[in-house]
């Protein structure tokens, strides 16, 4: 009898746990899994929002790899991600390392560096970026003071993408705060031990600090990569993909194809190509972990 009661209670408890996560599960099925699966399905159709589906086809994928504009956008997306992510992580780690020394006013600096991350995603900051980098903008006014000739930051196809990258790099604050928290957990004794063995500050940084925070570096790397591949606001607002498509990231083409031309099948196919590429990079990152990421619960660190 008692046993039965216990098992009933246990069952109740199990169901209760399930009830708590049920809203999430429903949301996942409707707003994540269903869209995820149907976009794969749409990618093999000629789905147009107004004409519906008339046939199943591989045309979208063939079209993607035969259209220079699209393959170029994929290339630009790569370039964007592989410029932005390393620059941002290096800036974040470097500044966090300096902030981690006991200096006066650290909190003040931390706040100052963090503000761009909080505001950076907003349209207002994209507008500001345009004001800074436009041909008669703030930066060229500064260069003028030093007698340097104006640079066409946004109208030169070889520079515009870099300016868009800088907007992201400028928002290194959140990655920095994460690094800072990780650096605080590196035991002081390790630095002392390294110092006794004659390691200078740089040596200490590379042989003590970096190995100990590799899990955090990894975390930041993967999340930043995911975001960089999806960047939309910067190029859409500042350069509108130009000049000469030099800042046309794949997300802009997906947007145009889906929400300007209503070619839902084509847009889904492009989104899936991007997704698969991102997935490959994420998997590579996860697989590479065992070569360079040290978790504290195993002894290799």
Partner 1 sequence: MEKTRGKRLSGRARRRLSVVLRYAVLISVGVVMVYPLLWMAGATFKENSEIFSGINFIPKNPTLSGYQNAMKDYGGDINIWKSMLNTYSYVIPKVVFTLFSATITAYGFSRFKFFGRNFLFAVLMSTLFLPQVVLNVPQFILFTKLGWVDSRLYLPLIVPTLFATDTYFVFMLIQFMRNVPRELEEAAKIDGCNVVQTLVKVVAPMLMSALVSCALFQFMWSSNDYMGPLLYVKTPANYPAAIFVKLSMDADTGFEWNRVLATSLISIIPSLVVFFLAQDQFVDGIAAGGVKG
Tell me how far apart the alpha carbons of residues 219 and 108 are, in angstroms, rounded to a whole number: 26
Q: Report in angstroms how near the CB of residue 191 gets to partner 1 at its nearest.
A: 14
Residue 42 or 162: the one with the smaller Cβ distance to partner 1 is 42
Q: Which whole-number Å values give the CA distances from 221 to 82, 93, 115, 119, in the listed order?
A: 11, 12, 21, 21
SS3 label, residue 20: helix
- Applying CB under 8 A, among 227, 245, 256, 289 the residue interacting with partner 1 is 227
Q: Return the range that interacts with partner 1 (CB under 8 A); candidates 18-26, 59-67, 189-197, 293-301.
A: 18-26
Tell me how far apart the alpha carbons of residues 90 and 94 are, in angstroms, rounded to a whole number: 6
Q: Return the range that interacts with partner 1 (CB under 8 A); candidates 66-74, 124-132, 154-162, 186-194.
A: 124-132
Q: Would you count residue 32 as binding partner 1 (CB under 8 A)?
A: yes
Q: Compose the 50-89 pattern: x for residues touching partner 1 by CB under 8 A, - for all others.
A: ----------------------------------------
Identify the residue whose tokens are 């408890």: 13
Q: Would you count residue 191 as binding partner 1 (CB under 8 A)?
A: no
Residue 136 or 298: the one with the smaller Cβ distance to partner 1 is 136
Q: Would you count residue 213 as binding partner 1 (CB under 8 A)?
A: no
Residue 99 or 208: the one with the smaller Cβ distance to partner 1 is 99
SS3 label, residue 48: strand
- Name the nearest CA neighbour of 92 among 196, 189, 224, 203: 224
Residue 136 has, within 13 A of its CA and on its CB side, a CA count of 0
Q: Return the range that interacts with partner 1 (CB under 8 A); candidates 58-66, 98-106, 156-164, 190-198.
A: 98-106
Q: Report in angstroms how near the CB of residue 120 gets to partner 1 at its nearest.
A: 8
Q: Locate 181 and state its tokens.
A: 């928290």
CB 270 within 8 A of CB 250: yes
Q: Return the range that interacts with partner 1 (CB under 8 A); candidates 30-38, 60-68, 156-164, 203-211.
A: 30-38
Q: Report in angstroms how near the CB of residue 255 gets to partner 1 at its nearest.
A: 8
Q: Report angle CA 190, 195, 198 to the nearest 5 degrees.
A: 135
């Amino acid at each position: 009898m008692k046993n039965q009661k216990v098992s009933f209670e246990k069952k109740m408890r199990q169901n209760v746990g399930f009830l708590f996560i049920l809203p999430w599960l429903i949301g996942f099925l409707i707003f994540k899994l269903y869209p995820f699966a149907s976009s794969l399905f749409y990618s093999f159709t000629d789905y147009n929002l107004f004409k519906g589906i008339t046939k199943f086809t591989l045309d979208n994928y063939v079209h993607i790899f035969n259209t220079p504009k699209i393959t170029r956008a994929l290339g630009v997306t790569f370039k964007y991600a592989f410029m932005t992510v390393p620059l941002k992580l290096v800036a974040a780690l470097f500044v966090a390392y300096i902030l981690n020394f006991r200096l006066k006013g650290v909190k003040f600096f931390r706040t100052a560096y963090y503000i761009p991350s909080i505001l950076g995603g907003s349209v207002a900051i994209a507008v500001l970026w345009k004001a800074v980098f436009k041909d008669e903008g703030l930066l060229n006014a500064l260069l003028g003071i030093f007698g340097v000739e104006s640079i066409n930051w946004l109208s030169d196809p070889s520079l515009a993408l870099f300016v868009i990258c800088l907007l992201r790099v400028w928002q290194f604050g959140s990655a920095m705060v994460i690094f800072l928290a990780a650096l605080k957990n590196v035991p002081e004794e390790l630095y002392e031990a390294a110092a006794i063995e004659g390691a200078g500050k740089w040596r200490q940084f590379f042989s003590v600090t970096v190995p100990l925070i590799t899990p955090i570096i990894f975390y930041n790397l993967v999340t930043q990569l995911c975001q960089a591949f999806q960047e939309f606001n910067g190029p859409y607002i500042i350069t509108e993909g130009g000049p000469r498509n030099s800042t046309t990231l794949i997300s802009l083409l997906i947007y145009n194809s889906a929400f300007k031309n209503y070619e839902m099948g084509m847009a889904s196919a492009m989104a899936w190509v991007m997704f698969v590429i991102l997935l490959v990079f994420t998997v590579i990152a996860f697989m590479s972990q065992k070569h360079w990421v040290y978790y504290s619960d195993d002894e290799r660190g």
